[in-house]
Amino acid sequence: MLFHPCTIDPTPTEVCRLPSAASKPSSYIPGLDGIRAIAFLLVFSAHALLGLSYYIPATLGVTIFFFLSGYLITTLLRREFAATGTIALRDFYLRRVLRIFIPLYIVYALAMLGAHFLTHQSPGNLFGFASVYLYFHNYTIALRAHAFTPPGMELVWSLSVEEHFYLLFPLAYFTMLRRGLSARSQARLLIGFCLLELAWRVVLIAWIKPAGPWTYVATDARLDSILWGSVLAVRNNPAISTDRSILPRNYELLCFLLAVAGLVATLIPRSDLYRGTLRYTLQPLTLYVIFSFLIRHIRHPLARWLEWLPLRYIGWTSYVLYLCHDFFLYAIQPPLAAHPLLVVVFGFAAALGFATLMRYTVEQPVQRLRARLRHLVPNNPVNLGPREQTT
């Protein structure tokens, strides 16, 4: 299988805005599950229809998922600190472990069994196993190390990037908050780091020229895709009523349409220098505007379709869908090689069926356990405005 840069944010869309409908939980941010579903469908299409990946690569999905992860996690942390004056880091890390590790280990074991019994291919080696379970698989790809994984599991490199963010950012953000840095200063620090990463990618591509796809997969070259979402969360957050929108009041729709066009335009240039450097900055900048509009104006005709229930369901199950879809494509492809459309249909159906099974037998029980471990937040959060509620 070709190398596919893709990822997903497994964090539920639990944050601090009153829903538009009384039937939805108070912690729900309308639109984010729909965005997550669209991002997954982009990744799946790029993997299932390799001809399409030339025009709409899975790297578009990776940036959307990374940005969403940074925005959502930072909003959760901001909300918790505003309500309690602290961030329960132990609870945060424990919830991440329960949410991320268990489905990953189950799917990886399934892929190993499938490689041995179904496709009769190598289930990987010990170094590959360790790189996945210890979350440094992205650097084994960047360095072209001999860390082999079962077919369909190459994409777990992106979980390494997100796990590094989960490990480092909450402590750094908590430090900024405890030092009393204003939202503007926080945003400036994060933007400065993002620009340093852009400069580092230019150095890598233009001068160092690493043998592996370093700027695709390495945390030091991709973390800014997540941090641009954090910038939106700390300043101009559309889910927090006291934050001002970055979009001009009378031109919000125009800015949104231009941002969508700009996001599509980032796919056009084909030079390696651009694709490995500037693209990973321009895409989050367009997403900054897109998220600002969609979350703040979810009832707008151009946004409310994100609340379509089938789309939201794909968003709810997207983490396991992401983990298993390439494996099912591998398993189904040999007997259906002459019928590529059937590979797409049956591959998606198998992945969705498995993700549904995992949702009810694994994820929901784990989610109930995570809820018991959740740091309790008072009913009247401080400094976040009237929309915010507890989770």
> What's residue 26's pLDDT?
46
- H/E stretch holding 191 reads helix 183-203
Assigned token pair, 104? 């990953």
Of 24-28, 165-169, 310-314, the poorest mean pLDDT is in 24-28
Per-residue DSSP letter, 388? -
* Residue with the larger pLDDT of the pair 132 and 12: 132
Inter-residue contact 315 to 281 (CB < 8 Å): no
**Residue appearing with tokens 């989050």:** 284
**Residue appearing with tokens 């499938």:** 114
Residue 343 has pLDDT above 60, yes or no: yes
Confidence (pTM): 0.88
Provide the residue count of the chain.
391
**Residue appearing with tokens 């869309």:** 13
% of the chain surpassing 90 pLDDT: 68
How large is the average pLDDT for residues 238-252? 91
Residue 388 has pLDDT above 90, yes or no: no
Residue 124 has pLDDT above 90, yes or no: no
Inter-residue contact 120 to 150 (CB < 8 Å): no
How far apart CA 150 and CA 132 sit, in angstroms, is 11
Residue 28 has pLDDT above 90, yes or no: no
Count Cβ atoms below 10 Å from residue 72 Cβ, excluding itself: 23
Instruction: Residue 134: name the closest of 155, 114, 105 by CA.
Output: 105
Mean pLDDT of the chain: 87
- H/E stretch holding 273 reads helix 272-275
pLDDT (tens digit per residue) in 66-112: 999 999 999 999 999 999 999 999 999 998 998 899 999 999 999 99
How far apart CA 202 and CA 317 sit, in angstroms, is 36
Residue 21 has pLDDT above 50, yes or no: no
